[in-house]
């Protein structure tokens, strides 16, 4: 039996996530980046934003936390999440080849839409 409260909560969480991705995208565009793709999904994972920063293709993970009680937004991008992002980025590059250098950024959004942009947040071997 479906739990209507749970599906409502999941829908609300998705709506907040989408809103924060918009906030993040607008912030990065004001910093001079250009949107290439949004919410790229494949069987390996999802890329919130794919942007171009000059001669660099940037895969951006947008994370939102209302509070730091269980760790901040940036800390939530752990090793497992990094592997999924790298796999999704590899899939993206197979279907959208690019001669550009690539990097992974994290956009940590806190309460009041306070933004911490972590450039080159992690690297892939």
Considering just the CA atoms, what is the radius of gyration of the chain in Å?
15
Confidence of residue 1 (pLDDT cuts 50, 70, 90): very low
Question: CB-based burial of residue 115 (10 Å sphere; 0-12 exposed, 13-18 middle, 19+ buried)?
Answer: middle
Confidence of residue 8 (pLDDT cuts 50, 70, 90): confident
Number of structural domains found in the chain: 1
Range of the structural domain that residue 20 is part of = 4-122
Least confident of 29-38, 75-84, 113-122: 75-84
pTM: 0.84
Residue 46 has pLDDT above 70, yes or no: yes
The CATH number for 107's domain is 3.40.1350.10
Residue that wins the pLDDT comparison between 41 and 79 = 41
């Amino acid at each position: 039996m479906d739990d209507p409260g749970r599906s409502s909560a999941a829908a609300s969480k998705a709506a907040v996530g989408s809103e924060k991705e918009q906030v993040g995208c607008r912030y990065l565009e004001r910093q001079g980046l250009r949107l290439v793709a949004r919410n790229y999904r494949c069987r390996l994972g999802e890329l919130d934003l794919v942007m171009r920063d000059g001669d660099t293709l940037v895969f951006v993970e947008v994370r939102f936390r209302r509070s730091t009680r269980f760790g901040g937004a940036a800390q939530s991008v752990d090793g497992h999440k990094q592997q999924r992002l790298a796999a999704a980025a590899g899939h993206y590059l197979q279907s959208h080849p690019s001669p550009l250098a690539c990097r992974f950024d994290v956009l940590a959004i806190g309460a009041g839409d306070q933004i911490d942009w972590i450039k080159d947040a992690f690297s892939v071997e």
